[in-house]
């Protein structure tokens, strides 16, 4: 049974890494687009919304990896 738990945790860690990479790429894209004064504001807003969604997904996954310990 612990093998299944480890496999599940490994899958979550892999997904977490993927989400963090996507988040970093969007951050870089936002920085690049923001430096241009002629930037399409709608595109920028969409990227920022996507970045926030990724951040929430990352936080949720991190939270699920922390074991529940009853005090």
Using one digit for the tens of pLDDT, what is the confidence trace for 7-18? 888 899 999 999
Q: Which of 10, 53, 47 is nearest to 25 (CA)?
A: 47
Long-range contacts of range 4-8, CB-CB < 8 Å, 24 or more positions apart?
none
Residue 70 lies in a domain: no
Number of domains comprising the chain: 1
Residue 71 lies in a domain: no
The model carries a pTM of 0.81
Which CA distances in Å does 54 have to 20, 36, 50?
Answer: 8, 24, 6
Do the domain assignments include residue 32?
Answer: yes
Residue 50 lies in a domain: yes
Host domain of residue 26: 2-65
Q: What pLDDT, in 10s, does the model give residues 17-65?
A: 999 999 999 999 999 999 998 989 999 999 999 999 999 999 999 998 8
């Amino acid at each position: 049974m612990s093998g299944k738990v480890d496999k599940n945790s490994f899958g979550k860690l892999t997904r977490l890494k993927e989400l963090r990479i996507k988040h970093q790429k969007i951050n870089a894209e936002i920085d690049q687009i923001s430096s241009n004064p002629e930037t399409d504001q709608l595109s920028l807003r969409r990227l920022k919304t996507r970045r926030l969604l990724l951040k929430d997904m990352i936080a949720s996954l991190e939270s699920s990896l922390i074991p529940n310990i009853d005090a």
